[in-house]
Amino acid sequence: MSPPPNPGIRRLGTLLALMINLSLMVVLPATAAADPLLSQGKPATASSAENVATPASAAVDGNTGTRWSSAFSDPQWIQVDLGATAAISQVQLSWEAAYATAFEVQVSADGTSWTSVHSTTTGTGGDQTLNVSGSGRYVRVYGTQRATQYGYSLWEFKVYGTGGSTGGGDRLLSYNKPGVASTSQHDGNCWECTAARAFDLDPASRWATSSTTGWVDPGWIYVDLGATAQVSKVVLQWDPAYARSYQIQVSPDANIWTTIYSTTTSNGFKQTLNVSGSGRYVRMYGTQRATPYGYSLWEFQVYGTGGNPTDPPAPPKDPANPPALVWSDEFNGAAGGKPDAAKWRADPGTGPNNELEYYTNHDNASMDGQGHLVMEARKQATPGSTCPTDPLTGSGTCQYTSARMNTGTKFHFTYGRVEARIKVPKGNGFWPAFWMMGADFLTGRPWPYNGEVDIMEVLGKDVKTSYSTVHAPAYNGGGGIGGPYTLPNGADYSDDFHVWAANWDSKGIVYTLDGRTVFTLSKEQVEQTRGPWIFDHPFYLILNLAIGGDWPGPPNAATPFPSRMLVDYVRVYQ
């Protein structure tokens, strides 16, 4: 058994690169502006992000070792919300090697209509100090021509001037406030999809108009903020049943409404609307549905000042940097010993997905005395059990046994680096997996509303391909978000051990194989293109070796029994 790796060693190359970048940056310091810095720590958004490690916020965090980088296409942009109108006197840009040859610096009062205050087609990158003159709440760098085949990337984006907001004034006003809607759905397809569900900060619950009376125009939902408020921002996370045309309205009495935002070209998903208006009540008033169905919102959030807000729960903290080992099992027990009962529980019974095995109560799981957990698949009937018909025997009694275990009542966690070193079996019908389930599954929330994070799945009929995927209400089953990946040189996963890992934090999940990034999921991008991100709460670990099922198909006469999935270790760092 090898000792746990030192996460700091893996970061050595990254740290050296950051030190080089820092040394290059201080050679030519930017000219200091006479006016104060307005942009640091303010909300920043961008047209895209290359991955979860390079978000827009990294360009305005005051840390010259972090950066924003975009997708590899033109145009791209990054903007910062100063919180209030400001007179802009200077913009400082510290470009990474992926810089803009042609770009504009633009200002806006509302984040929609933009005025250029600086323009160039001969940008040279590096550190640029641009003396400008303009007024706006929002400041944007709008790149139209890249200098390289990569995207646009900024270590720092600094805006100087007078005005703006000192920050901290605007807050979430709508959390757990009373909601009222034109109609609500409550049936087998959408259980308790009442107006309150849009204001509970639970991205897996939603409001929907009634399936019997609500699939009509108009449809609406409003929130009572408890007192008059100055509204500055509204965030909508739409279900696929979204509004093509709608208005955001405010009212002092829920009777007379004033429109503060209007669109006829909405494309759904997540929309952040910078608005300005005053009222106790805020309404989404839909006038044209985008589908034959009704209107439905996972989240309807209102930000501003005033009202009578209720503080939401504090969000979970991101892992430390570098993370520390907080939980592990090295499987160093004596040969024949069972999994550590303080860490794992057996999960006996039949499997989902039309699987053909019966999972035993640890009869198929044991140590091998050489530092490995053995999960063994056997051709072994279980009297009294019921499985889909086995095509080899024609029997509806489960003809195979295997192992499944989890940390469900032992260990839950939110965020961290989760990894396991595993060797998978080869043969038609085998389906080894290392994955996580949202812990609220144990208290009654059904799949996929609890969330599922698959770190490793391999099909025994194709052991050259591995998969990492996430499942949520808006994307699950065959529509889950993930992808396949292979080993270099066409190698076979069943030939040796490999380390599968998920690096999970508030920005998303980065999947790695043997330390190589194989798939990246950005929370921001998922919300804007697929639906709500539901992975910011506790999860537990699962190991299992399935036999048969909808995806892998059944065993055949050549499938070797018994076969083993070997697990060298499972580790969690935070």
Q: Which residues pair with 400 in a beta bridge?
A: 357, 379
Instruction: Indicate if 457 belongs to the active site.
Output: yes
Q: How far apart are CA 451 and CA 455, in angstroms?
A: 13
Omega prior to 309 cis, within 30 of 0: no
Residues near 202 by Cβ (< 8 Å), separated by ≥ 6? Answer: none
Identify the active-site residue in 330, 376, 457, 524. Answer: 457
Rounded to whole angstroms, how far apart are CA atoms 545 and 523?
30
DSSP class per residue in 61-123: SS-TT--EE--SSSSEEEEEEEEEEEEEEEEEEEE-SS-EEEEEEEEESSSSS-EEEEEES--
Cα distance between residue 544 and residue 565, in whole Å: 9
CA dist., res. 9 & res. 218, Å (int): 59
Strands (E), 487-551: 498-505, 508-513, 516-522, 539-547
The burial class, CB within 10 Å (0-12 / 13-18 / 19+), for 444 is: exposed
Residue of 51, 46, 138, 147 lying closest to 103 (CA atoms):
147
Within the chain, how many helices (H) and strands (E) appear?
Answer: 3, 35
Q: How far apart are CA 376 and CA 159, in angstroms?
A: 61
- The separation between the first and the last C-alpha atoms of the chain, rounded to the nearest angstrom, is 22
Options 299, 355, 452, 524, the catalytic residue: 452
Asked if residues 403 and 362 have their Cβ atoms less than 8 Å apart, the reply is: yes
Positions of E strands within 290-372: 296-306, 325-329, 345-346, 349-350, 357-359, 365-367
Of 196, 215, 216, 214, nearest in space to 206 by CA: 196
Instruction: Report residue 100 as tokens.
Output: 């803009």
- Sign of the dihedral defined by the CA atoms of residues 40, 43, 48, 53, in that order: positive
**β-pairing, 357-359 with 400-402?**
parallel
CA dist., res. 101 & res. 144, Å (int) = 8
Q: Is residue 299 annotated as part of the catalytic site, yes or no? A: no
Conformation bin of residue 74: beta by default, left when phi > 0, alpha when psi is -120 to 50:
beta
Q: Which residues contact 3 (CB under 8 A, 6 or more apart)?
A: none
The DSSP H or E segment spanning 525 is helix 523-529
Which residues are designated catalytic?
452, 457
